[in-house]
Amino acid sequence: MKPPPFEYRAPDSLGEALDLMGEHGWDAKPLAGGQSLVPAMNFRLAAPAILVDLQRIDGLAGIRETDGGLAIGAMTTQREAERSDRVAGLAPLLHEAMPFVAHPQIRNRGTVGGSVAHADPAAELPAVLLALGASFRAASRDEPGGRWIDAADFFQGLFATALSPEELLVEVAVPAPAARSGAAFDEFSRRHGDYALAGVAAVVELDEAGRCADARATLLSVADGPFVAEAVPATLAGEEPTGEALADAAAAVAAEIDPPSDIHASAEYRRHLAEVLVRRTLGRAAGRARGDVAP
Amino acid sequence: MRIEGEFTFDGPREEVWELLHDPDVLARALPGTETLERVGENVYAGEMRVGVGPFTAGSYDVEVRLEEQVPPERYTMIVDGRGSLGFARGKAEVELEEEGSNRTRMRYASDLQVGGKVAGVGQRLLDSVGRGMTKQGLEALNEELRARLEGGPGSGEG
Amino acid sequence: MTAEGNGPVGRAALRNEDAGLLTGSAAFVDDVHLPDMLEVAFVRSDFAHARVGGVDLSAAREQPGVVAAFAAADLGDYWAPGPLLVQPPPIEGLEFHARTQVPLVRDKVRHAGEPVAAIVAESRYAAEDAADRVRVDYDPLDAVVDLEAALSDGAPLVHEDLGSNLAARAVQERGDWEAARERADLVIGRRFRYDRGAAAAIENRGIVASWDPERGELEVWDTTQAPIPIRNGLAGMLGLSQSKVRVVAPFIGGGFGPKIMMFYPEEVVVPWISMRLGRPVKWIEDRRENFHATTQEREQIHDAEIALTREGEILGVRDTFLHDTGAYDPYGLTVPINSQCTLLGGYDVPAYRSEFRVVFTNKPIVTPVRGAGRQHGVFVMERLLDLAARELRIGPVEIRRRNYLPPDAFPHDNNIVYQDFAPLVYDSGNYAPALERAVEAIGYLDFVERERRGSEDGGPRRGIGIVSYVEGTGIGPYEGARVRIEPGGRVRLVTGVGTQGQGHFTSFAQIVAEALGVGPEEVEVTTGDTREFDWGTGTFASRATVVAGSACHLAATEVAGKAVDLAAEALDVDPEEMELAGGVARVRSDPSRSIGLGELAVRANPLRGAVKPGEKPGLEAAAYFGPDRGATASGVHACVVEVDPETAAVEILRYLVVHDCGRIINPRIVEGQIQGGVAMGIGNAFYEKLHWDGSGQLRNASFMDYLLPTATDVPAVESDHIETPSPLNPLGTKGVGEAGAIPVAAAFAQAVEDALDLPNLEILEAPLSPHRLWELILDATEREEGG
């Protein structure tokens, strides 16, 4: 279990890194925390000719408040995001989901941007950031300041994103929660820290009458990428998010998805788990929006 | 790994049949195909590089054999691919049915054995990868079909 | 002879070895770095079953850093199948076909991962790069994966010359099953499945071999549980005298059974390569290799029936089972015999008929893994009792109570033959008190009356399980030990068994310290180095403390006798008046009259004068111990689980073990063994399953998908002990290494059934998974609604 030969570059500046990516494109692979890429290389299931290590570049990590919410540097470790008071305050859904991301040892090394750019269908961060309506800044040699990509356009299937081979993800912007809104995350995995068999990030926004002004759920591990359930707003808009309405929404999601099978869960079981988790997370999100479930 | 499903081509059945037997078209349309040549009666050989995102499932020497052919209705495709990361072997049964005069419905059911390094660690993704590649390949073939049909009368006839 | 009552045996001493292990100074095989050392990567078959036409190493040999590459043909006369390690026991009518593993595949691959070639290079990186360039001409064959299909007509044959995939068949019988069945008020029959898992020691296998052509000596560092038999075997294969081969089993990160398997292909090939190239050679197994190349266990299918009276008294049991031995059967019938024998448990079973068939499949070899077949027997019997209890409306505790062998039943002859070829005779036991203590400690009655179940509306539900087992431990043939008091007063103990984390450096030290009246920290222990000790077999079958520990005791007792005699002579008192304590020999009635052990050691090795005829110099003795048969340990496991009936998630809230391993040498070590064993058992019950596809491919060959339970899945195990000493060894002790792992799946199944309380839900398989449990819940619910 040793990787095939590769060239290792560790640029000191973003400009240098962008030059390397611009020059080598598909042959180069950025190395952030290395928690997915390095094992894949050791298994010889990934064989980039050049690794561009981003660890030495200043300014890519950190969490700050912006006008509309949070800006999270792509190289911010998952552990830092997990422990950040700013994240807890301004993105409680992200805060709730962080402990589900693998294990503490992995979160110590793994980065927010790495997880987003990797776009594993079982990853928590893509689903959560999609549910939150986040956007991503991608920089390149030609456009060092970067361009912004909405989460809705960013994820394009199995390990596929809107990033071009020359681009680096540099920042994630997360809007602050709306008034009278609540969110919840839950997933089902064999052991804590495993790839989830199904997971849901849910957001509910209520109007003054306590009906759903907006409700959405994104799922992980049920499709080839983070999956936005159309059925949730379709079923819940204008409804009071309680008992039967939530069960109807969950059943509609179960009918909407076409999950894959693997040794841990058949498509049927995944569908069932998704239904249970959608119902539970939407219920909890609605409770939080009403203020009667602890954040 | 079992992959089955249906796909509708925007063209008549004979055209689809032709398309599915043209190694140049297949080489262009099937994801990861680097080369594919006819090496004998109903036997094709070539090289495929299979990968998804940052992952590569390696390079495979592939042999494809068509059997039990009933033109233009059905055939069986026997696939044997081998590379340093393992192997993929199996067969796919393909049925073509006319759907009106200008559309063709394909039913496919394949049983693929995937072995070696990919098999041992890739199980979580194999189903999605298999389905994704099938969809991508069929859509690309349909594009080829449309292009061929738009290419004017005669280009795909015969 | 020592001061009584407050000696080291029985104390929860801290482990002598932990300082080195915890600070990283303890040396493992991969820590061996020798000048000019080369590394090996093996080319392994991707196919589970295929004919091998040819192996083309030319491209690999041209790779940078590659020194040599070998295929089967290159081994010449050295190529030979491995030895049959365990002969089949003397059971009348037994059929057995030995087919053992080969060093490198010559003509046919029989399981995925079987080694086909070895690449030797300056680094493992270079070796792996080159291994990718080896071209093997495989002609794939259909694979045999399923046990039943293996025996069906027309099945592909793993070993064509046998004409079938049947490796063995044996019937053992006591009493008259047919008559018991006839007389019974209730007969319950079910099919039980136990699936395959990996032992998954955290340290994989590894071997370093270094041939010194000038001295004509071979040194080998090997992660083996049996260094002495490895030394003996390698010497024979390589044509060297045993004294020219040194095998060291240094610290090893877990054995669990597969490291008692001997003459793995790598173990045979790596020393040969070192001799051939005249350079040290290292091979360290990686995790992927471990999943394919290290032995595994547990796949069996049982069709079993139990016959009972309406009071729940067992009249008889019949069991017919299939056992998967994988592609070869070098370990004989140890595992299925253990299943067959352990099924009887602590119960009075007047009639028993058990037949097994062992089948070859295209999967890795099966040899004992912690529990070694006992799990299956216990699972079948305990589940049958639970089903009977349900049917007869007797509680699970009560039905066990009614069937235990009484305390005056020992020794109890089960009239069948055990894995050590001796009759299965329980030397000692007292089962009911352990059950009652477990009932009390887990709060069984309270739970049943008050806590049980909880939510009725789809929320979490709780259940309780309680099961028991009996385990043959500490079998022969023998082990030895040598004890010496050094002139400085410290004690040196050497034994031949290898150690893989069991705490031998502490428990053996305690045994010796007890006899010599010193602190255990004064005893330096060496294990697993054939240069230090020549005789022995290995660490397996929960036997090290029982057998090697007894040898330590005997050797230390002899040394103590010498020390006392010498001191008595010097102080001019009767040896009967002497005792050893605090590192000195002293007069019991006047402790101020004493001589230090170090000084006695000096006196025992005089520079002038004469050693008397018949006496040996030095305070040293070697002793050997071989029990007539195994010591019978036993215990009761109880657990409380919480099940989410919607998702089928199960959490183990409490786990309790009441164990009888005879006299306890060190309770801390016993509790550690139980905690670790239960963790492994929980893996077997709910997490660890090897998934094979129909072509013999392992689909979860990594810890990403092969689910070892972790700290988040395993509760802190509560344990309690009952000490019923074994009469079969001088310490009165019994083995404990496997105890924690054995009955967990049975306890878990009972508790989950109890929690869900569905009339049609029966758990007849291990391991379970949330997915499978969800299916069982759906099925049981539908059947209930359907009728």
Quick one: CA torsion of C536, C541, C544, C549, rounded to 10 degrees? Answer: -100
Q: Which residue has the higher pLDDT, C4 or C220?
A: C220
Return the percentage of chain C with pLDDT > 90, whole number: 88
Render pLDDT for A138-184 as a digit per residue (tens, 0 to 9): 999 999 999 999 999 999 999 999 999 999 999 999 999 999 999 99
Q: Say if B117 is an interface residue toward chain C (CB within 8 Å).
A: yes
- How far is C606 from A182, CA to CA, in rounded Å? 87
In this prediction, residue B107 has a pLDDT band, given cuts at 50, 70 and 90, of: very high
* Predicted pLDDT of residue B152: 56
Q: Given an 8 Å threshold on Cβ–Cβ distance, is C129 in contact with A192?
A: no
In this prediction, residue C6 has a pLDDT band, given cuts at 50, 70 and 90, of: confident
Render pLDDT for C367-409 as a digit per residue (tens, 0 to 9): 999 999 999 999 999 999 999 999 999 999 999 999 999 999 9
* Predicted pLDDT of residue C456: 66
Report, as an integer, the average pLDDT of C165-188. 98
| pLDDT at residue B50 greater than cutoff 90 | no
Render pLDDT for C305-319 as a digit per residue (tens, 0 to 9): 999 999 999 999 999
Nearest Cα neighbor of C688 from C763, C743, C768, C747 is C768
Cβ within 8 Å of A, C 320-339: none
- How far is C634 from C614, CA to CA, in rounded Å? 45
In this prediction, residue C5 has a pLDDT band, given cuts at 50, 70 and 90, of: low
Q: Given an 8 Å threshold on Cβ–Cβ distance, is C771 in contact with A264?
A: yes
Hey, which bits of C399-478 come out as E strands?
412-417, 423-426, 453-454, 461-473
| pLDDT at residue C4 greater than cutoff 50 | no
* Predicted pLDDT of residue B56: 80
Q: Give the residue from chain C lying closest to A36, CA to CA.
A: C704
Closest chain C C-alpha to B74 CA, distance in angstroms: 26
| CB < 8 Å to C701, chain B | 119-121
* Predicted pLDDT of residue C615: 78
| pLDDT at residue C217 greater than cutoff 70 | yes
- How far is C388 from A59, CA to CA, in rounded Å? 69
Report, as an integer, the average pLDDT of A98-123. 97
In this prediction, residue B58 has a pLDDT band, given cuts at 50, 70 and 90, of: confident
Report, as an integer, the average pLDDT of A194-208. 97
Q: Given an 8 Å threshold on Cβ–Cβ distance, is C704 in contact with A44?
A: no
Cβ within 8 Å of B, A 184-223: 195
* Predicted pLDDT of residue A193: 93
Nearest Cα neighbor of A210 from A236, A240, A235 is A240
- B5, two tokens: 């499903």
In this prediction, residue C187 has a pLDDT band, given cuts at 50, 70 and 90, of: very high
In this prediction, residue C453 has a pLDDT band, given cuts at 50, 70 and 90, of: low
Return the percentage of chain C with pLDDT > 70, whole number: 98
* Predicted pLDDT of residue C730: 93
Cβ within 8 Å of A, C 395-414: none
Q: Give the residue from chain C lying closest to A4, CA to CA.
A: C129
Please give the distance of CA C549 from its chain centroid, rounded to a whole number. 17
Mean pLDDT of chain C: 94
- Residue where the block lists tokens 């004509």: C216
The structure's pTM equals: 0.95
In this prediction, residue C622 has a pLDDT band, given cuts at 50, 70 and 90, of: very high
Q: Given an 8 Å threshold on Cβ–Cβ distance, is B120 in contact with C48?
A: no
Least confident of A158-167, C106-115, C583-592, C733-742: C733-742
Q: Given an 8 Å threshold on Cβ–Cβ distance, is C48 in contact with B115?
A: yes
Q: Given an 8 Å threshold on Cβ–Cβ distance, is B113 in contact with C704?
A: no
* Predicted pLDDT of residue C476: 83
- A94, two tokens: 């992200």
Q: Given an 8 Å threshold on Cβ–Cβ distance, is A159 in contact with B54?
A: yes
Q: Given an 8 Å threshold on Cβ–Cβ distance, is C46 in contact with B115?
A: yes
Do residues C516 and C703 touch, judged by C-beta distance below 8 A? no
Do residues C526 and C482 touch, judged by C-beta distance below 8 A? no
Cβ within 8 Å of A, C 572-611: none
Complex ipTM tops 0.90: yes
Q: Say if A37 is an interface residue toward chain B (CB within 8 Å).
A: yes
Closest chain C C-alpha to A195 CA, distance in angstroms: 8
Residues of B with CB under 8 A from a CB of A: 52-58, 85, 117-118, 121-129, 131-132
Do residues A172 and A71 touch, judged by C-beta distance below 8 A? yes
Instruction: For strands C108-109 and C461-473, give the pairing.
Output: unpaired
Sign of CA dihedral C62, C66, C70, C76: positive
| pLDDT at residue A5 greater than cutoff 70 | yes
Counting as contact any 3 or more CB pairs under 8 A, the partners of A are: B, C
Q: Give the residue from chain A lying closest to B53, CA to CA.
A: A159
Render pLDDT for C33-89 as a digit per residue (tens, 0 to 9): 999 999 999 999 999 999 999 999 999 999 999 999 999 999 999 999 999 999 999
In this prediction, residue B14 has a pLDDT band, given cuts at 50, 70 and 90, of: very high
Provide the H-helix boundaries in C132-175.
147-150
Render pLDDT for B60-71 as a digit per residue (tens, 0 to 9): 999 999 999 999
Least confident of A256-270, B78-92, C551-565, C747-761: B78-92
Please give the distance of CA C161 from its chain centroid, rounded to a whole number. 32
- How far is C18 from C672, CA to CA, in rounded Å? 13
* Predicted pLDDT of residue B158: 35
- How far is C203 from C188, CA to CA, in rounded Å? 43
| pLDDT at residue A234 greater than cutoff 60 | yes
Which run of H or of E encompasses A137?
A: strand A135-139
Angle between helices C504-516 and C549-571 (to 10 degrees): 30
In this prediction, residue C280 has a pLDDT band, given cuts at 50, 70 and 90, of: very high
* Predicted pLDDT of residue C542: 80
* Predicted pLDDT of residue B156: 42
Report, as an integer, the average pLDDT of C99-122. 98
- How far is C43 from C109, CA to CA, in rounded Å? 12
Q: Given an 8 Å threshold on Cβ–Cβ distance, is C712 in contact with A191?
A: yes
Render pLDDT for C425-441 as a digit per residue (tens, 0 to 9): 999 888 999 999 999 99
Cβ within 8 Å of B, A 116-155: 118-119, 121-122
Q: Given an 8 Å threshold on Cβ–Cβ distance, is B122 in contact with A261?
A: no
| pLDDT at residue C613 greater than cutoff 90 | no
* Predicted pLDDT of residue A119: 97
| CB < 8 Å to A262, chain B | 123-124, 126-127
Sign of CA dihedral C12, C17, C18, C19: positive
Q: Give the residue from chain C lying closest to A189, CA to CA.
A: C649
Mean pLDDT of chain B: 89
In this prediction, residue A11 has a pLDDT band, given cuts at 50, 70 and 90, of: very high
| pLDDT at residue C596 greater than cutoff 60 | yes
Do residues C218 and C246 touch, judged by C-beta distance below 8 A? yes
